[in-house]
Amino acid sequence: MTFFSTHSALPASSVTESFASSEPAVPRHVLAPSRRALLGGVLAGALLVTGALPAHAAVAAPAPAHAGQEKVPKLDIQALRAAVAKLDDPQATAAQIRVSGASGRWYGTSGVADLRTGRKVSAIDKFRIGSITKVFVATVVLQLSAQGKVDLNAPVQHYLPGVLPAEYPPITVGQLLNHTSGLPDESGPDLPDVSTPEKVLQHRYDQWTPQRLVAAVSHGPMKFAPGTRQEYRGINYVLAALLIEKVTGQSYGTEISKRILRPLGLHSTSLPGNDPRIHGPHVHGYLALADGTLSDATVYNQSEAWGEGEMISTSQDLERFMTALFSGDLLPRATLDKMFTLPPRDVRMVDGSPARYGMGLQTATMNGMTLWGKTGERYGYNSGMFSTRDQQRRVVYSFNPTHRDQTQMRMTLRIADAVTRNG
């Protein structure tokens, strides 16, 4: 295990940036306190829809496919620079933002990819994207639906008999994708103690199977009747990935590669499985320990996030994926609309706030601009990809917080404000 002093090794906050005043052509391609809640990225999933965001944002009706929002404001370059540069609030070792759309492009970084060498972050650096993985999984399930191989209104138990307890009520495939399943919290003796960074790192080489993950939610009663409330849960996408495998006869990673990664040329995006390392140029992630030192947490087995948060990518690849998805290159329009459709208005989050998740995407409004996309978070990594539905404004960001707590929200909200404010 490698340690770094927080007093001598944190990078300076100088910003490296690039800017283009017009949008270049983008290639088009035909085609809860429980352990699992913590590791599945619930905190990250809520970052863009809390705090300064208006309570009514999530219930706005999705725009028709042919309609665009009003013209987006000019990029606020000064705000973007500040959002990247401020690595002490919260404490982070690196940050990068990639903005594109009708009013131009901007890319900026600060900090270093590796504290040991001092190497600066670059556009080709890979990072762990956490729950953005769910968008890839949802896209494949929706492709199978469009092909008539999966019925979104059919119970997942029909496709995966015996995987969930027999006494559980029917949970439709669509209810998995939009987080209205009502499955219980994770529990049982199999869950390790990850209450401190030191204990987290003791489990960095643990290997999980999807069956073991599902077993952790197979105790106790349902939290609510399926379809009546919304609660962001990673286990929904573990089941969705298992469904992909049962229907296709291939691993869900193989299907993502065949249907998305290879057709779009996403050569820097991968599913690591039990390989704990990130291969090729990448940004390191660090955790602050109790004594104030930083430990490199980059090497970490991601099987605990199987199907819901294991993937690795770059800002360039995520921008290309988001552009193709929103442009209708990956899904027929009627099927794509399901990603932008929220549950009925009487279905609210378990905390009483409006529902904010469609089938694979989440929505948030800031400074009057409504964005759709997904956040992601793993130890030492926090990221997001968002766009207006008409793609006048797209953003992909990644930063490397050293504390896995609510302080991460400050960076995310600062980025969201910078991306949406009028320059």
Enzyme catalytic residues: 131
81 CB-side CA count, 13 A: 10
Helices 315-326 and 133-146 sit at what angle, rounded to 10 degrees? 30
Question: What is the chain's Cα-based Rg?
Answer: 20
Which amino acid, residue 348? R
Name, in order, each residue with C-beta under 8 angstroms of 208's C-beta and a sequence gap of 6 or more.
Answer: 301, 303, 304, 306
397 CB-side CA count, 13 A: 32
User: In whole angstroms, how far apart are CA 57 and each of 123, 197, 263, 366?
Assistant: 32, 35, 34, 8
Across 231-351, the runs of DSSP E, i.e. the strands, are 286-288, 293-296, 312-313, 348-349
Closest CA to 306 of 331, 264, 338, 275: 275
CA 28 to chain centre: 23
Is the C-alpha dihedral spanning 374, 174, 323, 54 positive or negative? negative
**Lookup result for tokens 């999807």:** 210
**CB under 8 A, 24+ apart: contacts of 116-122:** 116/2, 116/4, 116/296, 118/11, 120/16, 121/16, 121/94, 121/95, 121/96, 121/283, 122/281
C-alpha dihedral over 316, 394, 260, 274, to 10 degrees?
Answer: 60
**133 within 8 A of 309, measured Cβ to Cβ:** yes
First to last CA, the chain: 44
**Lookup result for tokens 């370059």:** 77
Helix (H) or strand (E) holding 93: strand 92-101
Residue 421 burial (CB < 10 Å; 0-12/13-18/19+)? Answer: middle
What's phi and psi for 189, nearest 5 deg? -70, -10
Calpha distance 174→181 (Å, rounded): 9
Calpha distance 351→332 (Å, rounded): 34
Helix (H) or strand (E) holding 387: strand 381-387
